[in-house]
Amino acid sequence: MKQLLKKYFGYDEFRPLQEEVIEHVLLGKDCFVLMPTGGGKSLCYQLPALKFDGLTLVVSPLIALMKDQVDALKTNGISAEYINSSLLPAEIQQIQEKVIAGKVKILYIAPERLASLDFKNFLKKVNVKLIAIDEAHCISQWGHDFRPEYRNLKFFKSEFPKIPIIALTATATAKVREDIVRQLLLDNSRSFISSFNRENLEMIVTRKRKAFDKLLGLLQKHKNESAIIYCFSRKDTEKIAMYLQLEGFKALPYHAGLNSETRKKNQELFIKDEALIIVATIAFGMGIDKPNVRLVVHYTFPKTIEGYYQEIGRAGRDGLPSECVLFYSYGDIRKHEFFIDQMKDAVEQEKSREKLNQIIKYCETIICRRKYVLGYFGEEYSFPSSDGKELDKKSCEACDICLNPNLLFDAAEISQKIISCVIRTGNRFGRNYIADVLLGKSSQQIIDNQHNNLSVFGIVSDFNKDEINHITKSLIAYEFLQVSSGKYPIVSVTEKGILFLKQKEALKLPKMHEDLEGQEKSVSRRKIQYDFDLFEKLREFRKQIANKNNVPPFMIFSDVSLQEMARYFPADKNSFAKIEGVGIRKLENFSEVFLAVINNYIKENNIQSVEILNRVQNRNVKKNNSFAVPDRYIRTKKMISQKLSISEIADKQGFKYGTIVAHIKKLISNGEDIDIDYLKPPQERLEKIKTAFEKCGDEKLKPVFEYLKGEYSYDEIRLGKLFYK
């Protein structure tokens, strides 16, 4: 499978869970796959499709995406087609014939096809080996995107009970998950649920002050990269797009009020890297699959955490570091509240209010944003160790809270004052009132309540009202205080708050961030190092090639591939083949022209050939040094320091034995300081394995296994190889 992965897709490694899912699918069993956007779901059925001697049928509701997916497969040399309402009957006929003749490996269809008797009859003439249901949540009424056409899919199990089904989605609660499995009549299916953490996304919340200047700063930082800016209203998108154009940025608006032609055109310009910035309402994003969006800005914060996570999910699908910045202001809370107040349905209104409170809490939180969001979705997030030295570092290294620990201040005293004031005034007032009492404001209401006689009246002089409000919100996030929902939220103390008062604990809270300073370094630190000028040249060149081939640039090569080219300077076809994303078809079609650009650059800049050689040879080593080390390696490293056995480590991470051995190999070649002596097999066995490898060569394990007459397991052989090498 690894060979197929490199051959057709150009990748060396599977992403988490991909390998497990694929193995399961190849056994001919049903399964359900839940992975975040960008997790790499498509590969879970595209790779098995290459192994099966028949057709893989893919159902997808997104007609606009089908062509892209099929084009992408074709550029990788995989024969794929699609059938949907955008095609003429004659074209459909042609494709069907091609499929019946066995000339197509993967066929994408829209769900409504299955309503047609003709189509069903066609299917019966085809040797279907696997059915993949993309966006599987669409089948459930409990989901957020129910599509009645998806109900047609029941037909599969009733008509083709023997054909395995793989259902995939990025959004499903437990309830929807069960519903999908039930509705599709999946048989003894297994669920694969991956973490929703997107480690390459930096999550930042900042105060919305001098917002447009901040935005310009961000776009400057991401110059030449794709960005999406989400706004509150259609008018805002047009206004901001125009202002950005005046500043010299190629920015286009996108919202549901534009006519479909303009929408289509703007989207296409964005996908083709002709316009790098889209200023959109939430309507933008569903139909696009651009992997190299590097910046997502919420100019107005979104209405729900679900929406927020989906929108930032559109950044960095290719796994490269990308930045997500949310502008937060009290003014925008009121904008949202205003709309909620207009809602007619009381139940819906209450729900929306609750959702809004949750995103406000997220903005106000003082714990790691990542931990908070994942916790919201029911996932426990544990911090990675970054350098292997401080194993239990309490930082995700990619959110504003974790990146700015020194933005905290000693808040014990002011917090005690606020909490006391809430208690003294009887747990019956809102934030503003509490602040007014603390500041000693003699408003009519305060005098009527005789709160000007309390000991807390006017007790605060070193904070202003905004600041007190901010701290109060932090105390709510910390659950020392709680707030009721509704139009006039009332703040009251919690048990935790009372305990805090009694015990006089220390407490640090974040200052209000005013700007994004200090966050600049983080993103660039995590990027791989490459020759920036060459990258630019390659990117320009990619655009030309893409236009010639009439596909989006990312389909020719991803940014990851170009960055690797600009790092390792492959000088010939052999080294070019090692670049990530270069499979056989792309090697054939594009290596020559890209190599010409690279070699030209090498000549122009007098880069020494020795250096190039080293770079290519050291690719794997360097890659690990420079890429952000994936979580899984760090977890393996940590467990090795705890002296766990390889099987235990494998079990804990849900990987295979061999994968863990591969991790260890990488960690060692990466120069990581790990002690694996305790894993060493007994000396005489090690000698036997070594002899076997010397006799049989170390390319393949099977001859070695056979040479040893089955007395040594594959796992032991793998491990032995690691040691004698």
Q: Cα separation of 56 and 165, whole Å?
A: 10
**495: which residues sit within 8 A by CB, 6+ positions away?**
none
Q: Rounded to the nearest 5°, which phi and psi values hold at 130?
A: -155, 140
**Among 172, 399, 477, 491, interactor with Zn ion by CB under 5 A:** 399
Residue closer to ligand ADP (CB basis): 132 or 598 = 132
* Closest to 126 (Cα-Cα) out of 171, 148, 156: 156
43 binding partner (options Zn ion, ligand ADP, none; Cβ < 5 to 8 Å by kind): ligand ADP
**In this complex, which beta carbon is closest to ligand ADP, that of residue 8 or of residue 601?**
8
Rounded distance between C-alpha atoms, residue 426 and residue 384, angstroms: 43
- Selection from Zn ion, ligand ADP, none that 368 binds (CB < 5 to 8 A by kind) is Zn ion
Across the chain, which distance is largest between two alpha carbons, in Å? 96
Task: List % helix, strand, coil for the chain (3-state, nearest 5).
Answer: 50, 10, 35
Least Å distance, CB 346 to ligand ADP, is 37
Nearer Cβ to ligand ADP (271/509): 271
DSSP string, 384-416: PPSSSSSTT----SSBHHHH-GGGEEE-HHHHH
Assess contact for 551 and 558: CB atoms under 8 A. no
304, 372 in Cβ contact below 8 A? no
Asked if 372 and 479 count as a contact pair (C-beta separation under 8 A), the reply is: no
Query: 3-state class of 169 per DSSP?
Result: strand
How many whole angstroms separate alpha carbon 37 and alpha carbon 285?
Answer: 12
User: Of 143 and 497, which CB lies nearer to ligand ADP in the complex structure?
Assistant: 143
**Smallest distance, Å, CB 37 to ligand ADP?**
4
Residues 331-370 that bind Zn ion (CB under 5 A): 368, 370
Distance between CA atoms of residues 658 and 664, nearest Å = 10
Taking residue 138's Cβ as centre, other Cβ atoms within 10 Å add up to 24
State the binding partner of 373 from Zn ion, ligand ADP, none, CB within 5 to 8 A by kind. none
Mask 138-177, x = binds Zn ion (CB under 5 A)? ----------------------------------------
C-beta of 670: minimal distance to ligand ADP in Å?
A: 18
- Work out the number of other CB atoms within 10 angstroms of the CB of residue 115: 12
- Residue number with CB closer to ligand ADP (21 or 538): 21
Residue 15's binding partner among ligand ADP, Zn ion, none (Cβ under 5 to 8 angstroms by kind) is ligand ADP
Least separation in angstroms between residue 401's CB and Zn ion is 5
CB of 208 to Zn ion, least distance (A): 21
* Alpha carbon distances (Å) from 314 to 272, 322, 421: 16, 10, 44
One symbol per residue from 598 to 617: x for binding Zn ion (CB under 5 A), - otherwise; what is it? Answer: --------------------
Selection from ligand ADP, Zn ion, none that 402 binds (CB < 5 to 8 A by kind) is Zn ion
Q: Are strands 106-109 and 55-59 parallel, antiparallel or unpaired?
A: parallel
User: Which of 13/350 has CB closer to ligand ADP?
Assistant: 13
- Residue 399 contacts which entry, ligand ADP, Zn ion, none (Cβ below 5-8 A, type-dependent): Zn ion
- Whose tokens are 């966050």? That residue is 519
Q: Which residues bind ligand ADP (CB under 6 A)?
A: 11, 13-15, 18, 35, 37-43, 289, 291, 317-318
Q: Which is closer to ligand ADP, CB of 15 or CB of 451?
A: 15
The answer for 38, left when phi > 0, alpha when psi is -120 to 50, beta otherwise, is left
What residue 384 binds from Zn ion, ligand ADP, none (CB within 5 to 8 A, per partner kind)? Answer: none
Binding Zn ion by CB under 5 A: which of 278, 402, 418, 650?
Answer: 402
User: Which one of Zn ion, ligand ADP, none is in contact with 35 (Cβ closer than 5 to 8 A by kind)?
Assistant: ligand ADP
Question: Any idea what the Cα angle at residue 336 is, between residues 333 and 339, rounded to 5°?
Answer: 150
Question: Which is nearer to Zn ion, 371 or 431 (by Cβ)?
Answer: 371
Residue 396 interacting with Zn ion (CB under 5 A): yes
Region from 85-93, 389-397, 405-413, 668-676 binding Zn ion, contact rule CB under 5 A: 389-397
Residue 38 or 253 having the CB closest to ligand ADP: 38
Nearest to 296 by CA among 201, 422, 378, 182: 201
Token representation of residue 464 = 């202003």
Q: Give the nearer residue to ligand ADP in terms of CB position, either 267 or 292.
A: 292
- Contact between 133 and Zn ion (CB under 5 A)? no
Residues contributing to the site for Zn ion (CB under 5 A): 368, 370, 396, 399, 402
